[in-house]
Amino acid sequence: MPKNENVFSSWRGWCGRVTSRLVHRGWRAVQRAGAVTAERPGPYRFGRIGVGTRLAFPQGTLFGEPWIELGEHCVIGEQVTLTAGMMPDVDLGPEPVLRIGNGVVLGRGSHVIASVSVEFGDDVFCAPYVYVTSDNHSYDDPDQPIGRQWPRSAPVRIGPGSWLGAGAVILPGARLGRNVVVAAGAVVRGEVPDHAVVAGAPARVIRRWAPDEGWQPPLRTPAPVPIPEDMTVQQLLALAELEREREQAREQTGERNLEHEERGLEREPGAGAS
């Protein structure tokens, strides 16, 4: 009897491994087939999809696509919502409402809601679950449910080269300059100058770069050294191995110095006496 149980367990384990591989292989095939590109737009008819842009599958809520323009080489993560207008099938006029520049990255689960102009400059990078909206609930009438009151709307612009951390919220009327850093979880409204770092709810400027002073307050760590463009993978691996050897040598040197200090203490008269 134990022998039969072992055979059955082995067979069940083999079937489980095969099933797992098939499920993951099938899901990857579905993801490839369901991705939206200029060549394979699926059921969506965007105003524009640039070359090299890809919306990962599964997509979030998408409507008002004729008024949405996506630049070239954008990466739109899974479950990203992009909407133009308050609801589907509304004529928004001749001009695009949501414009996303070239090289923009929208992380998984992000939402961009635009009933009036929302614009992303080139090379804006967004971490997961960023929320950008041109509309905010109003509560002027105390007798009406807030969700039934007409929202307040204002255009939004995010300057080129900016970085929006995970969970950041960009509210109606926000105007971010060039190369702005928005900390994770920040809630941004109003104008943010170029080369600024903002954090908090509501967000405020905590660091800014000026041509004559540099970063103020100064950065606490040195800038990372970029990898040369002509460096090969083999050279990078060799460099990493060399760095590990140097770190080990530093540790061994520190241990030897500590041993010398301990021996010196032992030789001193009265060492260890109470």
Q: Which residues participate in catalysis according to the annotation?
A: 137
Burial class (CB in 10 A: 0-12, 13-18, 19+), 229: exposed
Question: Do residues 209 and 181 lie in contact, with contact meaning Cβ atoms separated by under 8 Å?
Answer: no
Query: How is residue 250 written in tokens?
Result: 């530093």
Give the C-alpha separation, 202 to 171, whole Å.
10
> Phi and psi dihedrals of 180, rounded to 5?
-90, 140
Cα–Cα distances in angstroms (integers) from residue 229 to residues 125, 232, 233, in the given order: 22, 8, 11
CA dihedral (198, 117, 120, 127) positive or negative: positive
Helices marked H in 139-269 — which ranges? 233-267
Query: How is residue 232 written in tokens?
Result: 């090969």
Give the C-alpha separation, 195 to 52, whole Å.
28
Find tokens 């300059």 and name the residue: 177
Give me the count of residues in the chain. 274
